[in-house]
Amino acid sequence: MLANISHKGNSYKIDFSNPLDISISLRGDNKNPMAWYLKHPEIEPVVDGDFIGKVSKGSSVNFNNIWFNPHAHATHTECVGHISNEAHTIQKHLKTFFFKAKLISIEPQKKGEDLVFTKEQVRNKLKDFEGEALVLRTLPNYIGKISKNHSHSNWPYIEEDAMVLIREAGIKHFLTDQPSVDKEKDEGKLLAHKAFWDYPKNTRFDATITELIYVPNKIEDGEYFLSLQPASFENDAAPCKPVLYKIID
């Protein structure tokens, strides 16, 4: 299905029949991605006396409990409530869900023992883009990301001045395939998170960060429209299924 979209005075044709899913599905075993030193999620049938919520065990329905942490186990979207003293929820602050986006791929630079995305790298990829969302794919890109245990891996992170550039470019929704925009062990500084939300001075309550995505190699760098719809959780973060749509020339 083709549809015409108006964005900042320009008209775009979108193919809604060809969604490009960049989420990672949650599963209840150790093939699920993991971070922050937690074990894998659990998806298990409810057991109550003689009742087992599984059709193959004699129940009329499958009836599972699911245990997981959105920050550690799932493609998730978070708001400033993730780092603020005050309670802010993604359900309260994200009120629109469709944005012009740019997908960029960057191989992080070595800096001491770390791998970092620099301001210069981001500037070169962002130039002349007018939109609200930026999707960052880390190079090299490989299918193993969908089941990686990130704990104690010292993953690539975004330098503070690079995130300031992203914020000043008008990006309100930033997506990455890493578990965090910040260094895994940063002594709680959270420099990139704070720079993106401009917290606490001029906090951008309607801005979001989405982590633990996976962008297959077949999806080319370029401009898209993004559907970003987190589950309706009254929490700082919620599982999310970001979907890109190609712009038809």
Confidence at residue 2, expressed as pLDDT on a 0 to 100 scale? 84
Strands 133-138 and 98-106, by their bridges, are parallel
pLDDT band with cut points at 50, 70 and 90 for residue 5: confident
Confidence at residue 60, expressed as pLDDT on a 0 to 100 scale? 97
pLDDT band with cut points at 50, 70 and 90 for residue 93: very high
Confidence at residue 212, expressed as pLDDT on a 0 to 100 scale? 98
Confidence at residue 242, expressed as pLDDT on a 0 to 100 scale? 98
CB 26 within 8 A of CB 17: no
H helices present in 103-155, as ranges: 119-126
Is the peptide bond between 156 and the residue preceding it cis, with omega within 30 degrees of 0?
Answer: no
Confidence at residue 249, expressed as pLDDT on a 0 to 100 scale? 76
User: Both tokens of residue 57?
Assistant: 């065990």
Radius of gyration of the chain (CA): 19
pLDDT band with cut points at 50, 70 and 90 for residue 248: very high
The hierarchical CATH code for the domain 2-24+70-248 is 3.50.30.50
pLDDT band with cut points at 50, 70 and 90 for residue 174: very high
For residue range 204-245, what is the model confidence (pLDDT) as tens digits?
Answer: 999 999 999 999 999 999 999 999 999 999 999 999 999 999
pLDDT band with cut points at 50, 70 and 90 for residue 123: very high
Q: Tell me the percentage of the chain whose pLDDT exceeds 70.
A: 100
Confidence at residue 9, expressed as pLDDT on a 0 to 100 scale? 86
pTM, entire model = 0.97
Q: How many helices (H) and strands (E) does the chain have?
A: 5, 18
* Mean pLDDT over each residue of the chain, to the nearest integer: 97
Other C-beta atoms lying within 10 Å of the C-beta of residue 241: 19
For residue range 128-158, what is the model confidence (pLDDT) as tens digits?
Answer: 899 999 999 999 999 999 999 999 999 999 9
Euclidean distance between CA atoms 1 and 40, whole angstroms: 38
